[in-house]
Amino acid sequence: MRQSNFLQHKQTIRMSMSLILIIGFFLPWFTMDPNFSMFATSKAGFSGMSLVMGINFAVQMINAFGTAYNFPASANVIYLGYLLLLIPLLGVIAIILSGLRHKWGYRLHLIQYAFALFVFIAIIIVTNINAEMRELVGNVTNTGFGFYLCLIVSLAGIVYSIYEWRKGKR
């Protein structure tokens, strides 16, 4: 019985989705609203990489806010932002292992998709539940192309993996 064309190229599809996630990590996730002219550059964009690079600068400010509001551990929590680097690192490793036809390639693709989906859903939940974050994202910044690209591709990667798993069980 001949497999569907969709499943014949499963390794290429997984590698392409991981590559798109890596590229999306470096595209702007958040952009400054052009109508908000408080900052010198109103066209600034913040990618996943620039968010990770800004952690060292933000720790002092968050530590001051945390001390003022009686939450001294807040500066330590922001170091969890370095976990964002797992999105491109897992993708590169998964692409290499898939190219070498190693059995862990598939698992690392799935871990990358699941981790990226978790990160983007967590960002959506935090920005919609917390009023200050909702105002910041709604009035000062807008979500950018890279954010939606990574969200859609990680969701598509999970759905494709489930589809592939279900077809393989038959």
Give the residue extent of every domain in the chain: 16-31+44-165
- What are 67-98's pLDDT values in tens digits? 666 655 555 666 777 888 889 999 999 999 98
Strands 141-143 and 28-32, by their bridges, are antiparallel
Q: Using 50, 70 and 90 to split pLDDT, how confident is the model at 1?
A: very low
- What are 18-48's pLDDT values in tens digits? 999 999 988 887 776 656 555 555 556 777 7
Q: How far is CA 138 from CA 127, 130, 148, 151, in A?
A: 9, 12, 16, 18
